[in-house]
């Protein structure tokens, strides 16, 4: 006797960031991300359907940086806040800078979104590169003082946003100061994995 089975497809999204100085090779931080699953599911469905959003598209448009993901007490102990990924309206705690990573707009491979896939793998990577050059952001400190942890451009959170202005991911990390004496680059890898099971 044969048994009819249905195939259940599962899709997972996971990711991590590396923030480094591409000139010196120094890695400043590595961290896993949190995904806003509601916004990500909406974005993926609309991308598959080739639908536009209310104010733009659902593809990754910007990487945004903030400085309120952690608190530091008088003894220097760091407390990491929870990521804002449970509600579709989630945002950074305190956004202080934003950079376009859509290469069609930025015109630069240093600020781009690429797809990497190897045949037969059940996953594909979306690799987002965001580069903050020496002269940006405007108003940054001249040098990395390592003492002013409350500065506007001492980043401790970042997020990927769709061109439709929805937060897709959020990462909280040890504070990294962006100053004019160094370039920093964020390599943000999102792995989209599929699998299936017989039900």
Residue 5 confidence (pLDDT) above 60: no
Strand-by-strand arrangement of the 167-177 sheet: 34-35, 167-177, 154-162, 60-66, 95-100
Residue 33 confidence (pLDDT) above 50: yes
d(CA 165, CA 60): 9
pLDDT of residue 1: 46
pLDDT of residue 93: 97
pLDDT of residue 111: 95
Of all residues in the chain, the percent with pLDDT exceeding 90 is 61
Q: Give pTM, 2 decimals.
A: 0.88
CA-based nearest residue to 186, from 173, 168, 199 = 173
128 pairs with which residues across the strands? 113, 188
Higher pLDDT, 133 or 75: 133
């Amino acid at each position: 006797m044969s048994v009819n089975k249905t195939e259940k497809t599962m899709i997972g999204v996971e990711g991590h960031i590396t923030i480094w100085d591409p000139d010196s090779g120094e890695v400043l931080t590595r961290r896993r991300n949190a995904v806003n699953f509601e916004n990500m599911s909406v974005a993926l469905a609309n991308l598959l359907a080739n639908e536009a959003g209310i104010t733009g598209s659902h593809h990754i448009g910007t990487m945004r940086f903030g400085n309120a993901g952690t608190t530091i007490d008088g003894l220097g102990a760091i407390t990491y806040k929870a990521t804002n990924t449970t509600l579709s309206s989630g945002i950074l705690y305190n956004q202080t800078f934003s950079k376009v990573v859509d290469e069609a707009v930025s015109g630069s491979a240093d600020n781009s979104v690429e797809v990497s896939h190897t045949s037969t793998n059940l996953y594909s990577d979306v690799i987002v590169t965001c580069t903050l050059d020496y002269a940006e952001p405007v108003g940054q400190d001249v040098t990395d003082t390592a003492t002013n942890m409350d500065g506007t451009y001492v980043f401790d959170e970042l997020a990927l946003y769709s061109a439709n202005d929805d937060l897709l991911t959020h990462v909280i990390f040890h504070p990294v100061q962006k100053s004019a004496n160094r370039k920093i680059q964020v390599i943000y890898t999102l792995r989209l994995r599929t699998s299936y099971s017989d039900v």
